[in-house]
Chains A and B, each alone.
Chain A
Amino acid sequence: MPGKLKAKIVAGRHLPVMDRASDLTDAFVEVKFGNTTFKTDVYPKSLNPQWNSEWFKFEVDDEDLQDEPLQITVLDHDTYSANDAIGKVYIDIDPLLCSEAATVISGWLPIYDTIHGIRGEINVLVKVDLFNDLNRFRQSSCGVKFFCTTSIPRCYRAIMVHGFVEELVVNEDPEYQWIDRIRTPRASNEARQRLIFLMSGELQRKIGLKVLEMGGNAVVGYLQCFDLEGESGLVVRAIGTACTLEKISTFPATATHPSNSSPSKDMKEPVFGEEAPGVPLSSGPPTPLRAQTFSSFSPSKSYSRQSSSSDTELSLTPKTGMGSGGSAGKDAGPLKALLKQQTQSALEQREYPFFTLTVFPPGFLLHVGGVVSARSVKLLDRIHNPDEPETRDAWWEEIRQEIKSHAKSLGCHAVVGYSESTSICEEVCILSASGTAAILSSRFMQDGPLDTELRFEEVVSPGCGFCHIPYDELNIPFPAQLTYCYCCRRYKVPDVLFTTIDLPTEASVTGKGCLIQARLCRTKKKAQGEVNATAISNLLPFLEYELHTQLMNKLKLRGMNALFGLRIQISVGETMLLGLASATGVYLTALPSPGGIQIVGKTPSDITYEQHISNMQKKINDTITKNKELYEINPPEVVEEIIGSPIPEPRQRSRLFRSHSESSDDVSEIDLSHGKKDAFVLEIDDTDAVEDIHALLTDSPTPAGFYSCNTEIMPGIQNWTSAIQMFTSVRVFRLNANLTNQGLNKIFSDLCENLLKSLYFKLRSMVPCCLCHLNFTVAIPEDELIQVAVTAVALSFDKEQTLENGKQSGEKTPIKAITENDEQLQFNLELNAETSSSSISPKGLSEVGSHPSARAPSVDYSSFADRCSSWIEQLKLKAHTIRRGSVKTTSSMEKASPLPEGRSRSLRSNRSYSGSSVAVVKMTPLSFIPGAKIIKYLGIINMFFIRETSSLREEGGVSGFLHTFIAEVFAMVRAHVAALGGNAVVSYSMKECVFMENPNKNQAQCLINVSGDAVIFVRESELELTSVQPQSATTQTSNGGEGT
């Protein structure tokens, strides 16, 4: 009996009128956990009942604590008939199970009904007393922390990164059970909501167990998804990265001050740094693993038509303890990878070398190979036994193996930025996985043998190191053009780099980045079963190829050479396939400058045609020039030298490795190199190509003052203000029947473009601003419908302050160099340097440069200056000092009182709600809040809601219905975070938004799944103030806290 859950129902407010006669409600509450139910008294005739109940106590296993949600139902008492339900609140008590997270849940939570939406609020108090149980064979994993954030959370330090954890659980979907024919929609929705809550809890517990077995204490980059497979069931699956984290106790001493007096509702909050490794963390070396659920592949009736190919390798899966793992990547022969793997799997298969992280602790990510992806088309079959989800496990196992082998062929032993997704239409399911092949440092890993394999051990400058090729240049797995790194000149780099990770903070980037999207529609014939699956599998390679071509062209068009955060989504419908690839393009200083795009006509006979082509060529060239200006891409001129390319002719090629299950038996990576074409040449041979080029040019530029990216940070912008605005936008588009591929493409592309335009317009008041983490999801909810959903955050930044900030930090830190064209010249010298500018020598500079730059991703000038003694550099330096001097004069007045200004800005954004009782909760898909410090993670938020209506018109049509629902979901997330004592959700994402409508019946239904990390943050300006004036700052933070 290792846990006692206590709940107290305090009061309700804004309840709906349930009794028409009196216009009042006789409300009471049922509190249910597991199979135990308590009831409050009926509070008669009030819309604002004060129950003030006793503490309801549930004595339960910690296993149940992890699996079950606390279910609170508010009802209207009716003497003569059945009591009417007003609504429910599900409370995930997982955050209370971890000593470091929240200690109490207390606050107003919306009462939610799947038919009526939010119906008033209820004030509850929930606590858990946990008795520690160190039973090794326990089934619970309390204490393991979960983070959606795909980087090491801000107030923690990674001691060890253990690696990949995954789990999936399956069940029957209540919506498809026979009983659904006789129960109400409400009962059915509630059964579904509850089931998914339960399954998520179970999944999290099981993953936690794996983490404990690996010796970790946390899961970072936790990604949970559910697949609504319809008739065949409901799958909830999750992946993540197991880590051992330690709370950073060297938190500035001043920071403990505001926390002690912190206004957070969390009364018990302990002092910072209190946190020694928690109870289960210090479990020492991992014990040998027991068999894991995914360990064996039984050749059960699998509908995968390619299972034969992987049966062999998958059945060879003896597991061993992790400590004895063999070397991962010694075999360089990439094409033989799979073969070798079969023999090697015995050593390393117990763990996939996958990491869901996209941002890494410094020194962890050594080299990046490129994107690896795998897809597989499956036919769904009813899940017969929920307790043995082997089929689904096996499917994923195959795909992961494929990914692993792709990584290996790129000479990499790990895959980072790894994610998995599905798209389901009727009985066909496309499983996709993608990541970035990489070589990691052994610093954070246990598997010692990995060390031996590191060929690039020496520390190279962090700004370019990750670009250096990890594969053997004489044995490149694909045609590539290599050059010496443009930063260090020592190692080879490819000419284009595609990755799924975030831009490393230390990367040196020229100019700013931008969102690049490739969009594609392909029609397909309606078909059933195997025929359908085959048709889809046959289409996929073409789809990917074209997406890739589009991405490459658009990248070139912007004069950039690398993609980060690449996410390719393929969605399947009955009569079409949709492909959407989003990424953030940047110009990596280390990589060569991309060539232009050259158009070549196939039939040069016609003069008008020639003219047409030269017109187009001119347009393209103009666009490239314009883009370079727009994104401030002015790379330093360097002598071109192409070295060591084993391929005689430079070619356009790809780093995208993918294969489909159809073809996985022969390990074919579809070669995406453009056959015999020359580099960057677009051949116009038919109308299709002309259309393509037109499409290329019709991407409208972002309006002035806006930037956009789908990664966490935007290179080249630093001075974020505290104004942030998270939003979700959904559009559904109805198509006409009988559209051609091209027509579809145009419509789809316009849909995305128009959506972006609308966003820019909506957010115009925030200019200058950047839309970060733009996350598009596409779906085909029905025939002839396309749904696009976007969640992102707009961050505004201070244009005027760029110089001033640069100055301030320049004075604090001895060196600061930003790669923006202007800033680049703002080479930092102390004031007196101005007078002695004539005497600057490279030597003196390198001294200055040897101080580590405290902030800002920067060009590594130290190594740069070391090397460059050429007269060009000398000249540049002079220019620096001259510019610097002039900048100084203009900005010296502005910086007169930096502190009060910062303060006032933060106050404005803090919006201390003096008059209102509702706390402000910020939401952002990013892992941080600009201008603020996250001081505590309170636990994961993972919520699932269903909303249904049978009075669609009355609720404002489909738009009104969904608008209300999304607003309600936001409200519930905010309320739960506030109840945990938090004031923000970071790494927020809407992972699922399934919308179905039937306007003829006046009905609609929508399912939404959201997740994120609840946190407490404190404004940096407030932290600074505390160090200056502890007394006043304390009161200020508490004000802010109360308000926020």
Chain B
Amino acid sequence: MSVELDVFVGNTTIMDKEVYQLWLNGYTVNDAVKVRIEGGVMEECEASAEVLLSDTMDQYRTFQMCERLLHHPAKLANQLLFQIPPDRQAMLIERYYAFDDLFVREVLGKKLSKGTKKDLDDVSTKTGITLKSCRRQFDNFKRVFKVVEELKGPLVENIRQHFLLPDQLARDYAAIVFFANNRFETGKKKLQYLTFQDFAFCAGQLINNWTLGAVDNMMEDMDVDLDKEFLQDLKDLKILITDKDLLDQHKSLVCTALRGKTNVYNEMEANFKNLSRGLVNIAAKLINAKDVRDFFIDLVEKFIEPCRSDKWTSIDMNLYLTHYTNSAHILDTFKHHAVWTRYMGVIKSCILRLYHD
């Protein structure tokens, strides 16, 4: 004796948010039923385990049928098969494209290739996220990447329009795409303390200031790639450290400005040349794709770690970077003001974000 077939179809498709989440999390039907039983739905609704199993299977089937539509969210609004209220549609999409911070930290900056996908079982064991869920998240990244890669115009806007995602989620995806495209290294031990949101913030800065799209929306190319011309120009900044006079002048200007205003003045004064060299060298090297990948590593190694060992506070950091940036403009022989501003603006906000007290 067994139920051979069991379906329920509503004119308005019924979807339970809780079961949807369990499905997204990659639970098997049986595991999902267990979770639901523990959650106490049964007592609430005078239901039996049998009823719960039937409902869960039915919901899972519905989600599976919807999944191919969710791959192209715009289709969800245009399809005729399921009558789903718009708020529900938005919920379905948003949750389908939501991802775990733990997971994204593992693949951020990696090439979204078959090879990476093969390694997902390791990621799954490491993070405790089911393989199924890892695959969905990975496939989402890849799908978004493939679609926007070819598109012109602002990255975030493209993602929002094509995948009907809420603003914040679209920004996060922009960060993921941007990282994947530029292959920024984020997995090194030294970077482990950083969260996805730290990187997403930096990605936002980079996209808004350093890409081609940042200067001209009408450009053929778009937000995914860094502005090559700008990177070229960054080499000119080297003068700040190669020219001994300029370096000394810069240092004295910053020191004058900071004297008495910070507790780490001595450390700062002692380290100024090293720190300045660090930042300018990063700038000068960005023209090489390989060095772009190490951008965050370099920032941490060359600037953040020395400051942290000297016990700078965020306020010290902010003060220093402000004056360091501004003083350069006063240097009489320094001509590259625009590039400097564009460079330091991003560097400053990134460092402030990446510097955890």
Is there an interface contact between B86 and A915, defined as CB atoms closer than 8 Å? yes
Out of B4, B47, B50, which one reaches A732, CB within 8 Å?
Answer: B4
Does any Cβ of A come within 8 Å of B3's Cβ?
A: yes
Could you tell me the distance in whole angstroms from the C-beta of B162 to the nearest C-beta in chain A?
Answer: 14
Q: Provide the bound-state CA to CA distance between A914 and B89, in Å.
A: 12
Does any Cβ of A come within 8 Å of B46's Cβ?
A: yes
- B47 contacts across to A, CB distance below 8 A: 757, 760-761
Out of A110, A726, A733, which one reaches B1, CB within 8 Å?
Answer: A733
- B52 contacts across to A, CB distance below 8 A: 761
Is there an interface contact between B1 and A923, defined as CB atoms closer than 8 Å? no
B53-61, B134-142, B286-294: which lies at the interface: B53-61
Does any Cβ of B come within 8 Å of A281's Cβ?
A: no
Q: Provide the bound-state CA to CA distance between A729 and B8, in Å.
A: 4
Does any Cβ of B come within 8 Å of A490's Cβ?
A: no
Is there an interface contact between B46 and A758, defined as CB atoms closer than 8 Å? no
Does any Cβ of A come within 8 Å of B192's Cβ?
A: no
Name the residue in A110, A121, A760, A915 with the highest tally of chain B Cβ atoms < 10 Å from its Cβ: A915
Is there an interface contact between A921 and B61, defined as CB atoms closer than 8 Å? no
In the complex, the chain A residue whose C-beta lies closest to that of B75 is: A14
Does any Cβ of A come within 8 Å of B338's Cβ?
A: no
In the complex, the chain A residue whose C-beta lies closest to that of B65 is: A964
Q: Provide the bound-state CA to CA distance between A202 and B44, in Å.
A: 53
Is there an interface contact between B79 and A967, defined as CB atoms closer than 8 Å? no
Q: Provide the bound-state CA to CA distance between A732 and B86, in Å.
A: 33
Is there an interface contact between A966 and B9, defined as CB atoms closer than 8 Å? yes
Query: CB-CB contacts of A594-619 with B at 8 A, as 1s and 0s?
Result: 00000000000000000000000000
The A-contacting residues of B in range 12-67, CB under 8 angstroms, are 12-14, 44-48, 50-52, 54-55, 57-58, 61-62, 64-65
- B104 contacts across to A, CB distance below 8 A: none
Q: Provide the bound-state CA to CA distance between A727 and B48, in Å.
A: 21
In this complex, the interface size class of chain B, counting residues with CB under 8 Å from chain A, is 35 or more
Supposing A725-B11, A727-B8, A963-B61 touch, asked if A118 and B3 sit within 8 A by C-beta, the answer is: no
Is there an interface contact between B6 and A731, defined as CB atoms closer than 8 Å? yes
Does any Cβ of A come within 8 Å of B253's Cβ?
A: no
Is there an interface contact between A974 and B80, defined as CB atoms closer than 8 Å? yes
The B-contacting residues of A in range 698-729, CB under 8 angstroms, are 703-704, 725-729
Out of A108, A727, A736, which one reaches B80, CB within 8 Å?
Answer: A108
Is there an interface contact between A918 and B51, defined as CB atoms closer than 8 Å? no
Could you tell me the distance in whole angstroms from the C-beta of A50 to the nearest C-beta in chain B?
Answer: 16
Does any Cβ of B come within 8 Å of A428's Cβ?
A: no
Supposing A118-B80, A913-B86 touch, asked if A735 and B11 sit within 8 A by C-beta, the answer is: no
Does any Cβ of B come within 8 Å of A136's Cβ?
A: no
Q: Provide the bound-state CA to CA distance between A703 and B4, in Å.
A: 26
Is there an interface contact between A758 and B7, defined as CB atoms closer than 8 Å? no
Is there an interface contact between A754 and B79, defined as CB atoms closer than 8 Å? no
Is there an interface contact between B7 and A918, defined as CB atoms closer than 8 Å? no
- B260 contacts across to A, CB distance below 8 A: none
Could you tell me the distance in whole angstroms from the C-beta of A906 to the nearest C-beta in chain B?
Answer: 14
Out of B5, B51, B65, B79, which one reaches A761, CB within 8 Å?
Answer: B51
Q: Provide the bound-state CA to CA distance between A960 and B9, in Å.
A: 11
In the complex, the chain A residue whose C-beta lies closest to that of B42 is: A761
Name the residue in A118, A729, A735 with the highest tally of chain B Cβ atoms < 10 Å from its Cβ: A729
Q: Provide the bound-state CA to CA distance between A937 and B259, in Å.
A: 86
Could you tell me the distance in whole angstroms from the C-beta of A764 to the nearest C-beta in chain B?
Answer: 5
Does any Cβ of A come within 8 Å of B264's Cβ?
A: no
The B-contacting residues of A in range 503-527, CB under 8 angstroms, are none
Q: What total count of A-B pairs have CB within 8 Å?
A: 143
Q: Provide the bound-state CA to CA distance between A734 and B89, in Å.
A: 36
Could you tell me the distance in whole angstroms from the C-beta of B29 to the nearest C-beta in chain A?
Answer: 12
- B50 contacts across to A, CB distance below 8 A: 754
Query: CB-CB contacts of A991-1008 with B at 8 A, as 1s and 0s?
Result: 000010000000000000
Is there an interface contact between A918 and B77, defined as CB atoms closer than 8 Å? yes
- B8 contacts across to A, CB distance below 8 A: 727-729, 758-759, 762
Out of A726, A911, A960, A970, which one reaches B61, CB within 8 Å?
Answer: A960
Could you tell me the distance in whole angstroms from the C-beta of B81 to the nearest C-beta in chain A?
Answer: 5
Could you tell me the distance in whole angstroms from the C-beta of A262 to the nearest C-beta in chain B?
Answer: 22
Does any Cβ of B come within 8 Å of A962's Cβ?
A: yes
Does any Cβ of A come within 8 Å of B2's Cβ?
A: yes
Is there an interface contact between B45 and A764, defined as CB atoms closer than 8 Å? yes
Could you tell me the distance in whole angstroms from the C-beta of A781 to the nearest C-beta in chain B?
Answer: 10
In the complex, the chain B residue whose C-beta lies closest to that of A757 is: B51
Is there an interface contact between B5 and A916, defined as CB atoms closer than 8 Å? no
The B-contacting residues of A in range 19-77, CB under 8 angstroms, are none
In the complex, the chain B residue whose C-beta lies closest to that of A922 is: B11
Is there an interface contact between A118 and B10, defined as CB atoms closer than 8 Å? no
Is there an interface contact between A959 and B78, defined as CB atoms closer than 8 Å? no
Is there an interface contact between A726 and B10, defined as CB atoms closer than 8 Å? yes
Could you tell me the distance in whole angstroms from the C-beta of B247 to the nearest C-beta in chain A?
Answer: 57
Is there an interface contact between A734 and B55, defined as CB atoms closer than 8 Å? no
Does any Cβ of B come within 8 Å of A968's Cβ?
A: yes
Does any Cβ of A come within 8 Å of B166's Cβ?
A: no
- B79 contacts across to A, CB distance below 8 A: 14, 918
Is there an interface contact between A728 and B9, defined as CB atoms closer than 8 Å? yes
Does any Cβ of A come within 8 Å of B201's Cβ?
A: no
Does any Cβ of A come within 8 Å of B83's Cβ?
A: yes
- A757 contacts across to B, CB distance below 8 A: 47-48, 51
- B62 contacts across to A, CB distance below 8 A: 963
Is there an interface contact between B45 and A995, defined as CB atoms closer than 8 Å? no
Is there an interface contact between A959 and B11, defined as CB atoms closer than 8 Å? no
Q: Provide the bound-state CA to CA distance between A785 and B81, in Å.
A: 29
Out of B1, B12, B86, which one reaches A736, CB within 8 Å?
Answer: B1
Q: Provide the bound-state CA to CA distance between A733 and B2, in Å.
A: 6
Q: Provide the bound-state CA to CA distance between A915 and B83, in Å.
A: 14
Is there an interface contact between A734 and B81, defined as CB atoms closer than 8 Å? no
Is there an interface contact between A916 and B61, defined as CB atoms closer than 8 Å? no
- B55 contacts across to A, CB distance below 8 A: 758, 761-762
Q: Provide the bound-state CA to CA distance between A118 and B81, in Å.
A: 8
Q: Provide the bound-state CA to CA distance between A763 and B64, in Å.
A: 21
- B14 contacts across to A, CB distance below 8 A: 725, 727, 762-763
Out of B5, B51, B81, B86, which one reaches A758, CB within 8 Å?
Answer: B51
Query: CB-CB contacts of A956-990 with B at 8 A, as 1s and 0s?
Result: 10111011101110110011000000000000000
Is there an interface contact between A974 and B83, defined as CB atoms closer than 8 Å? yes
- B51 contacts across to A, CB distance below 8 A: 754, 757-758, 761
Is there an interface contact between B1 and A735, defined as CB atoms closer than 8 Å? yes
In the complex, the chain A residue whose C-beta lies closest to that of B44 is: A764
In the complex, the chain A residue whose C-beta lies closest to that of B59 is: A762
Supposing A703-B46, A913-B86, A967-B82 touch, asked if A958 and B5 sit within 8 A by C-beta, the answer is: yes
Does any Cβ of B come within 8 Å of A932's Cβ?
A: no
Out of A704, A958, A963, A995, which one reaches B9, CB within 8 Å?
Answer: A963
Does any Cβ of A come within 8 Å of B85's Cβ?
A: yes
Could you tell me the distance in whole angstroms from the C-beta of A691 to the nearest C-beta in chain B?
Answer: 18
Q: Provide the bound-state CA to CA distance between A758 and B51, in Å.
A: 5
Is there an interface contact between B3 and A731, defined as CB atoms closer than 8 Å? yes
Could you tell me the distance in whole angstroms from the C-beta of B66 to the nearest C-beta in chain A?
Answer: 10
Is there an interface contact between B11 and A727, defined as CB atoms closer than 8 Å? yes
- A228 contacts across to B, CB distance below 8 A: none
The B-contacting residues of A in range 725-782, CB under 8 angstroms, are 725-736, 747, 754, 757-764
Does any Cβ of B come within 8 Å of A835's Cβ?
A: no
Is there an interface contact between B5 and A731, defined as CB atoms closer than 8 Å? yes
Is there an interface contact between B80 and A918, defined as CB atoms closer than 8 Å? yes
- B77 contacts across to A, CB distance below 8 A: 913, 915-918
Q: Provide the bound-state CA to CA distance between A916 and B10, in Å.
A: 20
Other contacts beyond A727-B14, A967-B65: 20, CB < 8 A: A118-B80, A118-B81, A121-B80, A727-B8, A729-B8, A731-B6, A732-B6, A733-B1, A733-B2, A733-B3, A754-B51, A758-B54, A758-B55, A918-B77, A920-B83, A963-B58, A966-B9, A967-B81, A971-B82, A975-B80
Q: Which 7 A-B pairs have the closest CB atoms?
A: A916-B77, A732-B5, A727-B10, A726-B11, A966-B9, A963-B7, A703-B46
Provide a sorted-by-A list of 21 A–B residue pairs whose CB atoms are within 8 angstroms: A110-B80, A725-B11, A726-B11, A729-B7, A731-B5, A733-B1, A735-B1, A761-B45, A761-B51, A911-B86, A913-B77, A913-B86, A920-B83, A956-B64, A960-B61, A960-B64, A960-B65, A963-B61, A970-B11, A974-B80, A975-B80
